[in-house]
Amino acid sequence: MGVRKRETADARKEANKSIAFAKLNNCPTSPRKMRLVADLVRGQKVERALNVLRFSQKEASRKLEKLLLSAINNWEQKNAEASIEDAGLFVKEIRVDGGAMLKRLRPAPQGRAHRIRKRSNHVTIVLGQVDNTQSN
């Protein structure tokens, strides 16, 4: 590896230390139901987002809570010396995309059949660190 390539790789690695992400693929919930819960925590601080997900009645909130905890642990692995309380982590981005769709047939009257689409989704959570140099 050349010097310039190593320097840019180190710079990219240092810039990515402030963010952490986690992905959940092929979650067997429809994207529409998952987006309802994802909209509740978008832009929130991590502590508040965990409380919102923990006390929500929706089934999708259990899966998102587990995914958020995974993203927090990923951030801890990158920043072993830093503490979460001082970092000011927040949900920078949360994206819910449609996943694979299972197509099933349900019998209908008069010899016909209706198609049932069992949807799944992909969820990506990106955690950001509040920059202390900016004034919010």
At residue 129, the pLDDT reads: 86
At residue 24, the pLDDT reads: 96
At residue 102, the pLDDT reads: 96
CA distance 125 to 20: 8
pTM of the model: 0.84
* 3-state SS class at 108: coil
The residue type found at 87 is A
At residue 16, the pLDDT reads: 79
> Which of the residues in the chain have pLDDT under 50?
135-136
Mean pLDDT for the chain overall: 91
